[in-house]
């Protein structure tokens, strides 16, 4: 057994949705560095192109396509384009999310629909389409980004947290349904990560430091620190891992507060 080769993705086609920035861009770079041809897809085509160009400059193979997960036709067109051009789809990474920070009693119907429409329904569309393709192939790895908020929550995070718990259950169900066809489906649950989504927190020093102190490592994660878990779940190194939730949270969900009592 050549264990180093377990992490190689040579000859495989990987789709990263949300590839324009943050965890998506880091995932694209990590997958390409391990040999995959990466399709960087995002509603912001210019951002997806910038990621793909950076991958190519670094010696990897990548291209950019546009997709809007809130539009079912857009998702179908994306998957059909990849299959017509590449003939296969081995890895799918789904990262897009939005959040409206409000108490539940203050939430508007349209805000609820926006958050659920992308985080949950958009993820469903991608999982459904990719799952169908991979089931016919008899292999594939689907990775959906959840969050620590699927398990722990705070005021103003109720609807976002509900969607992140929902994608975990969808991933688990799809893993059970497609396991017999050789398709693996897993979720990654990051803690606080320095991305555009968390910019409002970084703008408040006290809030930022409070989140840093909450993890066992005492800091935020970088987007690049999510690439390793993505590559692991995409590769044969995780060939017996499916229906799992991998917490990449610096120990956030493992500890209870930061005060060390006298023992």
Q: List the one residue out of 146, 135, 121 whose CA is nearest residue 184.
A: 135
Q: Which DSSP string do the residues of the chain spell out, in sequence order?
A: --GGGGG--TT-EEEEETTTSHHHHHHHHHHHHTT-EEEEEES-HHHHHHHHHHHHHTT-EEEEEE--TT-HHHHHHHHHHHHHHHS---EEEE---------GGG--HHHHHHHHIIIIIIHHHHHHHHHHHHHHHT-EEEEEE--GGGT---TT-HHHHHHHHHHHHHHHHHHHHHGGGTEEEEEEEE-SEESGGGHHHHTSHHHHHHHHHHSTTSSPEEGGGGHHHHHHHHSGGGTT--S-EEEESTTGGG---S-----
End-to-end CA distance of the chain: 47
Look at residues 40, 32, 39, 26 and name the one whose alpha carbon lies nearest to residue 8. Answer: 32
Residue numbers annotated as active site: 160
Burial of 201 (0-12, 13-18, 19+ CB in 10 A): middle
């Amino acid at each position: 057994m050549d264990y180093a080769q377990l992490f190689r993705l040579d000859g495989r086609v990987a789709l990263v949705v949300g590839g324009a920035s943050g965890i998506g861009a880091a995932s694209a770079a990590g997958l390409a560095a391990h040999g995959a041809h990466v399709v960087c897809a995002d509603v912001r085509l210019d951002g997806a192109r910038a990621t793909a160009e950076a991958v190519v400059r670094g010696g990897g193979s990548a291209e950019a396509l546009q997709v809007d997960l809130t539009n079912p036709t857009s998702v179908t067109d994306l998957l059909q384009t990849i299959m017509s051009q590449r003939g296969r789809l081995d890895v799918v990474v789904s990262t897009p999310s939005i959040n409206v920070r409000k108490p539940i009693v203050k939430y508007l119907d349209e805000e609820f629909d926006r958050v659920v429409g992308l985080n949950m329904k958009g993820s469903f569309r991608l999982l459904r389409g990719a799952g169908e393709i991979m089931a016919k192939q008899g292999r594939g790895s689907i990775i959906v980004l959840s969050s620590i908020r699927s398990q722990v929550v705070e005021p103003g995070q109720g609807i976002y947290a509900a969607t992140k718990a929902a994608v975990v259950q969808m991933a688990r169900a799809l893993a059970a349904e497609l396991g017999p066809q050789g398709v693996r489906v897993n979720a990654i649950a990051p803690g606080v990560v320095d991305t555009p989504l968390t910019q409002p927190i970084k703008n408040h020093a006290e809030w930022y430091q409070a989140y840093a102190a909450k993890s066992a490592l005492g800091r935020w994660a970088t987007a690049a620190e999510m690439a390793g878990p993505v590559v692991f779940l995409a590769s044969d190194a995780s060939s017996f891992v499916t229906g799992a939730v991998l917490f990449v949270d610096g120990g956030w969900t493992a500890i209870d507060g930061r005060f060390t009592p006298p023992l």
